[in-house]
Amino acid sequence: MTNTTDKSLILYNFSENVNLEDWYILDDVVMGGRSQGTFGLNQEGYGVFTGEVSLENYGGFSSVRFITGAKKIDEYEKVVFRLKGDKKGYQLRLKTQREDAHSYIQNFETNGEWQTISLDLASFYPTYRGRTLDMPNFPAELLSELSFLISNKKAENFSLELDWMELR
């Protein structure tokens, strides 16, 4: 896949859109865990994903998911986003179809400052419940959902401020 143009596809820009109806939290409580995440806008207009990861009852993750709608993305090579993290590790997770059980993931680290992170779509690998699957990496043809997940195998508070996300 070669991107012959410099065009980008904005997935979400918090300074231009304050409607959060396509965003939702999914924590380990779906499996009996006790982690708690929240998502909303702060006074500066950024999306803020905060909460606490608990290891009780075999828990250990919190995520915020964005329903992108089925977007044809075969002309793009990277997902790029601007955020400010808390010096913790996170995953960006992509789905081709919302009903798919598996996700395609890449890990990234935050440094406590505003940073722009660029991840190659072809490098997202398939997982299901923390296990890598024996199937090809993300096909980068269709995107229906993306999510930010924290699951560092420790009980901890977390905070991620999101500015924008796009494909390039």
Percent of the chain with pLDDT over 70: 96
Does residue 136 form part of some domain? Answer: yes
**Residue 2 placed within a domain:** no
CATH number, domain containing residue 53: 2.60.120.260
Q: Which domain holds residue 83?
A: 9-167
In the chain, the number of structural domains is 1
pLDDT digits (tens, 9 = 90+) for 37-72: 999 999 999 999 999 999 999 899 999 999 999 999
pLDDT in tens, 72-118: 999 999 999 999 999 999 999 999 999 999 999 999 999 999 999 99
pTM: 0.93
CB of 8 within 8 A of CB of 166? yes
> Could you tell me if residue 37 is inside a domain?
yes
Do the domain assignments include residue 110? yes
| Of 97, 111, 98, 108, the residue nearest 150 (C-alpha) | 108
Residue 4 in any domain: the answer is no
